[in-house]
Amino acid sequence: MLRTQGAGQAARLKDFLRAVAFTPAGVRERIQTDVLAGRHKENLSLLLYRTREVDALNLLIRWFIVGEPAAQTAAKQCIPPDILQLLGDCGLLTPAGDTLSSPVMFSPFEEFWIATDTYAHLTASSGGDGVLMINATTLCLLNLAMRTPCRSLLDLGTGCGVVAIVAASQFAEKVTATDLSSRAGLFAGFNAWLNERPNVEVLTGDLFQPVAGRRFERILSNPPFYVTPTSAKIFAENPMGLDGFCRNLVKQAPAHLEEGGFLQMLCEWPEIEGQPWEERLSEWFEGTGCDAVVCAGGTYDPILYAQNRLPVVTTLAGKEADYQKFEEWISYYQAQKVKAIHAGFLTMRKRSGQNWVHFERVSTQPSVPLGDAMLHLFASRDQPFSDEQLLASKLQVADGVQLRQVAAFSEGKWRRSPRIPIMQTFGLQLVHEITPEVAEFISKLDGSAPLSELVDDLAREAPVPREKVQAECLSMVRKWLYRGFVRQAP
């Protein structure tokens, strides 16, 4: 198992890893693929081929990323003796006969190195408390996170600790990383040591129990949010019904947030027949004393959800048993009247006063940083523009907004689509549909004239009274300003 060593040893090991290019760029250049030897050992032959020469980088890739042993003689040939000793002392390498192999996955990520469990461990029936590797959901949370400096941050359900380590390195003075699993605590502690992050404190226990009575400026969480009837794999599942775990987290978080503090988390929730999902989610925030922005991304049919999620949390047990499990899941969704399952993320802020909840449909999970977009949403709700202020403002379209013109060929000529998508290439990557007339109006928002003048121009040509034109413009512009399509000119 993993063991931390002296502080100087972490620096020594990292210097070596850097020197042999065991970095994201170095590994990428060597294996020339993003597809690792994952759950089903896909790409294994290709990876073995690309790492067939005996050198230090190839040995590290084989041990730590591909999960293959290497001969001790090859290791002695390529790796300095003190590093080989250190890798053994840390528990990153273990001997078996005349080979050395790694019991863990150990990958470069940005400027860090992170140890996690292997796919073999996670998929084994004994891997219930397995420590998940960095995956799409980790990246989502990192993209969602507001990166402005903060004094204290809690990463709840830290797993390998990567979110805590990134936060502690880039924007949080002190980070507390908690997890139910003591195995996760061990990995997170090891990774904090290796990445020289003494400002990460690792605690184990259920939900907020390890931080009872404490408050934080920020809370980040990528919780075990799967909506499943089973709870064998705690890296994805939980024993509470449907979305009970996420709801509970939201309900308990305010007691651990400072006034003005934020919780940002990923979540999934069911849509129950006869109830709009927004209504279900609104209840999560009732009585919390928090404002919230909920972003809904993907929506899944329960049957497809089961097909997608079952292989992640169950060990294949043969056709009959697998089919039975599939049916059990479907019956569970039917009994609970689950019409669909939504995936998304939320940001909530503790604030005394009249609270609000804002729902947004987004086309994907965050794939670009959107912490600033979140802060902007909250700031514009805090200080809404009056009509007079808006009319006096000079506004301009935000950099990175795109307008896509689609034309369809029909009856001998190209005809422009009456609906034009306008989209953000940043933040929430929102997409709205507008008419050609509105597109024309937006093009005039170049920061040169106050909005009132643009309304005057429009009203002169419009067949409706000026007040109506003004009211429509204000409503549209307010919506664009709030969502970041449009900004105030400097």
Ligand X SMILES: C[S@@+](CC[C@H](N)C(=O)[O-])C[C@H]1O[C@@H](n2cnc3c(N)ncnc32)[C@H](O)[C@@H]1O
DSSP state of 187: H
Spatial CA neighbour of 469 closest among 478, 459, 461, 479: 459
User: In angstroms, what is the minimal distance from the CB of 194 to ligand X?
Assistant: 17
**Beta strands 413-416 and 407-410: pairing type?**
antiparallel
Residue ranges in 233-272 that form contacts with ligand X under rule CB under 6 A: 234-236, 238
Residue 211 binds ligand X (CB under 6 A): no
- Would you say 378 and 440 are in contact if contact means Cβ atoms under 8 Å apart? no
What is the footprint of ligand X within residues 469-488 (CB under 6 A)?
none
Dist CA 412 CA 391 (whole Å): 44
Min dist CB 202 to ligand X, Å, is: 12
Count of chain residues binding ligand X (CB under 6 A): 23
User: How far is residue 479's CA from residue 383's CA, in Å, rounded to a whole number?
Assistant: 14
- Which one of 163, 165, 175, 481 is in contact with ligand X (CB under 6 A)? 163
Tokens 């273990």 — which residue? Answer: 94
Residue from 138, 176, 228, 314 in contact with ligand X (CB under 6 A):
138
CB of 86 to ligand X, least distance (A): 26
- Please say which residue, 59 or 180, places its beta carbon nearer to ligand X: 180
Minimum separation from the CB atom of position 182 to ligand X (A): 10
Q: Which stretch binds ligand X (CB under 6 A): 31-39, 152-160, 255-263, 368-376?
A: 152-160
CB of 244 to ligand X, least distance (A): 11
Q: Which two tokens stand for residue 178?
A: 């908690």
The pair of structure tokens assigned to 370 is 């959107």
Please, which of residues 165-194 interact with ligand X by CB under 6 A? 179-181, 184
Query: What is the rounded CA–CA span in Å between residue 306 and residue 223?
Result: 19
Binding of ligand X at residue 366 (CB under 6 A)?
no
Task: Tell me the closest approach of the beta carbon of residue 238 to ligand X, in angstroms.
Answer: 6
Instruction: Please identify, among the stretches 80-88, 219-227, 296-304, 347-355, the one whose residues bind ligand X according to the rule CB under 6 A.
Output: 219-227
Non-local (6+) Cβ contacts of 330 within 8 A are 302, 303, 306
What DSSP line would sit under 349-373, residue for residue?
EE-SSS--EEEEE-SSS--S--HHH
List the alpha helices (DSSP H) in 259-318.
277-285, 302-313
Residues that bind ligand X (CB under 6 A): 132, 137-138, 141, 156-159, 162-163, 179-181, 184, 206-207, 222-224, 234-236, 238
